[in-house]
Structure 1
Amino acid sequence: MTRKLKMGMIGGGKNAFIGAIHRIAANMDGLVELHCGAFSSNPKISKESGKELFLSDAKCYNSFEEMIVTESKLPIAERMDFVTIVTPNFAHFKPAMMALDHGFHVLIDKPMTLSLDEAKQLQKKVKDTGLTLCLTHTYSGYPMVKQARKMVGDNDLGKIRKVIVEYNQGWLSSSFEKEGNKQAIWRTDPSKSGISGCMGDIGTHAAQLAEYISGLKITQLCADINNVVEGRQLDDDGNVLLKFDNGANGILVATQIAAGEENGLKIKIYGEKGGLEWDQMEPNSLIIKWLDAPMQVYRTGNSYLSNFAMENTRTPSGHPEGYLEAFANLYKNFALTLSSLSEGKEPTATMLDFPSVDDGVRGMAFIENVIASGKSDQKWFDFKI
C-alpha cells in the first residue's frame, strides 16, 4: 500500500496497561496509525482518552457499535482498515464478529473469546468473510523463538521427544483482587475471565508456545488444577501432563502464586540429536545442547540466524530487543499481510508468521479441556475441539 493502515481501537483507554502497549507496537515500524477508537464502555472516558491521544472528536466514538457502523459507511480511503480489540475476555466476541460482518480485519488479545463455542463461531466467520484475524500471543514474536521454530522444523534436533514449558508468576500470591487491583479483579472474576484464571491467562501462552516451536499438536492431557489463595473463584496454579501427535510427551506448568517470580516463561524442547532452551526474561539468547557436540548459544541479530529471525529483528546484535519489539512483530507481519492482500499479492511465509483464529480456537479448547481434566479423576483426556 502507499499509505499507513488505519487502526480503530476498542478498549485501551485511560490507565489501561495493554492499550498503550498495543499503540506502541503498532507504531514501531511506521506501517500503522491510530485512526479512531471506542476506548471505553463509558463514553466520557472514551472521549477523554481519544483527546489525550490527539484524535479529533469525530474519531472518538461512544461505543464500538457506533465506531464500526460509522466507519463502514465512509469511503475506503477514509475509514479504518482494521480493529484492534484490547478489552477483557468477555468483551472480545461481539465486537470481533461485528467488525468482520462490516468488512474489517481484526487483531485481538488472547484468550480469543470467553468460550470454545464463541471461538468456533469466530473461526467460521473469518473463513466465510475471507478476512484476516491476528491473535496476540506475544511471545511467538520474539526473534529467537522464531529461530527455535525454524531449527525444529528443519529437523536440526531430530524427532522431537519431550517438551517442557513453564510460566511462573507471583503477582497473585495475595488477594490483590480484594484490594482494588483492576488487573486482578477481572482476571479472577468468572463473568469476565471465563471458566479459568491462571490457565486461561498464561497457560494458553505456554501451550501456544509449545505447539508453535515444536510444530506439534497436543492430543491428550492430564491436569492438576488448583485454587491456592483462599476464597479465589478461579484457578491460580496448575500442572499439566501432555501428549503430542508425534508420540512426544510434555509437561506444562502455569502458576500465578509463585511468590517472587516476575514473568518466568521458559521452554525446553528435546529431540533425538539435541535440545534447545529459551527464557522470556533473557530473550536474546537461544541455547542449543547437542548429544555429541559442545553447547551453543545463538544470539539475536547475527547473520547466521534464519530469515524468520532476521526479518523480525530491528537492531544489530548486542542491542536488547524485548517484549515491545516482539509485540510489534505481530503488528508488522499482520500489516504487511493486509497490504499484500489489498494489492492482490500473495503474502510471504514470514508475513503470515503470526497467530491466527485457528490458534485462538486451540487456546479455548486447551482451557476447556484442562479445566475438565482438573475436575475429573480420569487420568488422560483427549484434546477435544
Structure 2
Amino acid sequence: WLTEAVEQTGQKQAAWRTDPAQSGVGGSTGDIGTHAYNLAAFITGLDLDSLAADLDSFVPGRRLDDNAHVMLRFKAKGSEKPAKGMLWCSQVAPGHENGLMVRVYGTKGGLEWTQKDPNYLWYTPFGEPKRLITRGGAGSGAAAGRVTRVPSGHPEGYLEAFATIYTEAAHAINARKKGKAADKAVVYPTVDDGVKGVAFVEACVASSKKNGAWVKL
C-alpha cells in the first residue's frame, strides 16, 4: 500500500506512519515487523539475543524504512547455540496482503501458521506425515479451547483475536481489583512486550546503519 509516495497526497494513515516525529525511528519494522517478531517470541518462548538487519526506503524521499530483511538469533534454552530466525516485512510488495506467517522448525518437527487462514495449524512431527490441527478440533488443546469463541467448524479470526486479548486483560484487571492474582492461564500482551518491540525496532535501525552488523538487544 506504500509502493508509491501516497503520504504526499494527503492520505492520513500513510502520512503519520512515514513521519518519524509521529511514529518513531521504524517504518515497516515498527508498523508490521514488530508483530512478526512478537509472535515468533511468544510461540517459541524464546528471547531475542541479537539481530542483523538490512532496511530500505525504496520510495524516493521516504524518511522511514518500507522494507526490511532481518536475521535473528534467539537464546535457546538448554543450548549454547542460538536458535536462528529470519524475518521479512514490507509495505512495498504489490499483490501481497497482510500475509503474517510463522514457521518454526526443530529437531522434533515443524509448525506452520498463517494469518489469512487462521483456523488451521500445520504440525509435522519429524519423520511422520503432516497433521492439520483445526481451531477447536481434536488436538488443539485446553489452552486454545479456553479462548475459542465460536463453535468449531466455523471461521474465527482477526477481529475475534482482539476481543480475546481485551477479555484476557479484563480478567487480569478484575482480579487485581479484588486483590487476587490472575489465573495463570490468562495471557495478554504486557508493557514488557511493548518495550521489547521498541528495542527490536531500534536494534534493526542501528544494525542497518552499520551495514547489517550484528547488534545485541
1:378–1:287 distance in 2 versus 1, CA, 3 Å: closer
Cα deviation 1:243-286 (Å, max 9, x = unaligned): 11011111011111000111010010011010000000000000
CA contact (8 A) 1:278 1:286 kept: yes
Matches within 5 A, 1:82-93: none
Q: TM-score, normalising length from structure 1?
A: 0.54
* C-alpha RMSD of matched pairs (Å): 1.1
Give the partner amino acid of 2:159.
L
Separation in 2, partners of 1:378, 1:298? 38
Separation in 2, partners of 1:293, 1:372? 42
1:279 aligns with 2:148: no
1:304 aligns with 2:106: no
Cα deviation 1:151-185 (Å, max 9, x = unaligned): xxxxxxxxxxxxxxxxxxxx111111112211111
2:198 corresponding residue in structure 1? 364
1:238 corresponding residue in structure 2? 68
1:294–1:378 distance in 2 versus 1, CA, 3 Å: closer
Sequence identity, in percent?
Answer: 46
Matched position secondary structure for 2:100: strand
Give the partner amino acid of 2:149.
R
Matches within 5 A, 1:107-126: none
Q: TM-score, normalising length from structure 2?
A: 0.94
1:187 corresponding residue in structure 2? 17
Separation in 1, partners of 2:147, 2:171? 12
1:290 aligns with 2:120: no
1:323 aligns with 2:153: no
5+ residue gaps, structure 1: 1-170
2:215 corresponding residue in structure 1? 381
Separation in 2, partners of 1:185, 1:258? 19
Matches within 5 A, 1:53-72: none
CA contact (8 A) 1:333 1:350 kept: no
Matches within 5 A, 1:91-170: none
1:350–1:198 distance in 2 versus 1, CA, 3 Å: same
CA contact (8 A) 1:302 1:316 kept: no
Query: CA offset at residue 303 of structure 1?
Result: 4.8
1:264 aligns with 2:99: yes
Give the partner amino acid of 2:46.
L
Matched position secondary structure for 1:276: strand
Separation in 1, partners of 2:175, 2:23? 35
Separation in 2, partners of 1:248, 1:255? 24
1:250 corresponding residue in structure 2? 85
Matched position secondary structure for 1:361: helix
CA contact (8 A) 1:285 1:298 kept: yes
Query: CA offset at residue 202 of structure 1?
Result: 0.6
Matched position secondary structure for 2:39: helix
Separation in 2, partners of 1:267, 1:205? 11
Question: What is the aligned length?
Answer: 212
Separation in 2, partners of 1:271, 1:220? 20
Matched position secondary structure for 1:200: helix
Give the partner amino acid of 2:41.
E
- The ranges of structure 1 where at least 4 consecutive aligned residues each deviate by more than 4 angstroms after the TM superposition are none
Separation in 2, partners of 1:315, 1:275? 27
Structure having the higher helix fraction is 1
Separation in 1, partners of 2:142, 2:184? 10
Separation in 2, partners of 1:278, 1:248? 19
Separation in 2, partners of 1:303, 1:316? 13
Cα deviation 1:86-143 (Å, max 9, x = unaligned): xxxxxxxxxxxxxxxxxxxxxxxxxxxxxxxxxxxxxxxxxxxxxxxxxxxxxxxxxx
Separation in 1, partners of 2:46, 2:85? 11
Cα deviation 1:206-254 (Å, max 9, x = unaligned): 1101100010011011100000111111100000011110111110111
